Amino acid sequence: MPASNRAVTTAVLATLVAVAGVLGGVSLAGRDGVVLAALLVVLSVVLALGWPVVAGLPARVGSGVVIGLAGVASVVVVHLTTTEPLLGAVPAVFAGAVLAAFVAELVRRDGRERLVESVAGTVAGALVPVCAAGWLAAERTAAGDAVVVAGAVALAVGSAVTALPLRGWAGAGATLGAAAAGGVVAGAALPTVGLLSGLLLGAAVGVLIAAGDALFDRLPALEHRLAGWAVAVLPVAVTGILVYVVGRVLVG
């Protein structure tokens, strides 16, 4: 998948997160945030399918199962949590994913080549969808849907800029500036977030996008469609925990 296509895909997914944030009041079985939770489950599945290809893991099926279960379980436990701490059960889910990564290696029957690389890649991959649960927790902070929308807007704008033919420091600067501007505009439109929090959130998201773009630029594995989708989803997932931290520390 070309870099421009990945950037546009990330921007579209971020826009979907913003829409899901706006629809935060939609409930099922008495629980709000069901639209966002469903979207995060889908993103976790995409990461589970593509991350083993990105990392070149030797046992793709086992690694994918561990990654997918970690992401889905994190979303489910946060969705079902009604009291603080909202992310209190997430570390236990990740710990379970680490144990599952070792179990997945034990059931391999291919000689267990590149054992350490396989375990490390699986655990790293599991951490990404776990971070995505931060979007759901952020929706339940004092800022509520506003901080989710602000973070998603900054992510969408910054990701869209990476589709431009800019590389090196010029591209990183443009991405950072665009994401920060998106955060400021969202903060101005959403008084609950405010200009300063919007600026800081946008800048943090911009750094994340620029770093990811530089890290995965020209990676040969991204010629595979599933790998391209996984890398496009990755910034959306990781930004979740960042938005939650900003929502708790800067907004309340």
Each residue's pLDDT tens digit, 17-74: 988 887 765 655 455 678 898 999 999 999 999 999 998 998 899 999 999 999 999 9
| AA identity, residue 226 | L
Each residue's pLDDT tens digit, 196-222: 888 999 999 999 998 888 888 777 877
- Model pLDDT, residue 24: 62
| Among the listed residues 63, 64, 20, the one whose alpha carbon sits nearest the alpha carbon of residue 40 | 20
Task: Give the whole-angstrom CA distance, residue 221 versus residue 24.
Answer: 36
- Model pLDDT, residue 39: 93
31-32 vs 27-28, strand pairing mode: antiparallel
| Among the listed residues 134, 125, 106, 116, the one whose alpha carbon sits nearest the alpha carbon of residue 236 | 134
Q: Tell me, what DSSP letter sits at residue 26?
A: -
pLDDT at 252 over 80: no
Give the mean pLDDT of the chain. 87
Give CA separation, 10 vs 3, 109, 234, in Å.
11, 37, 8
Each residue's pLDDT tens digit, 136-186: 888 887 767 888 899 999 999 999 988 888 778 888 899 899 999 999 998
- Model pLDDT, residue 29: 46
Query: Does the pTM exceed 0.95?
Result: no
pLDDT at 130 over 90: yes
Each residue's pLDDT tens digit, 62-118: 999 999 999 999 999 998 887 778 888 899 999 999 999 999 999 888 887 888 999
Each residue's pLDDT tens digit, 233-248: 999 999 999 899 887 8
| 118, 100 Cβ separation under 8 angstroms | no
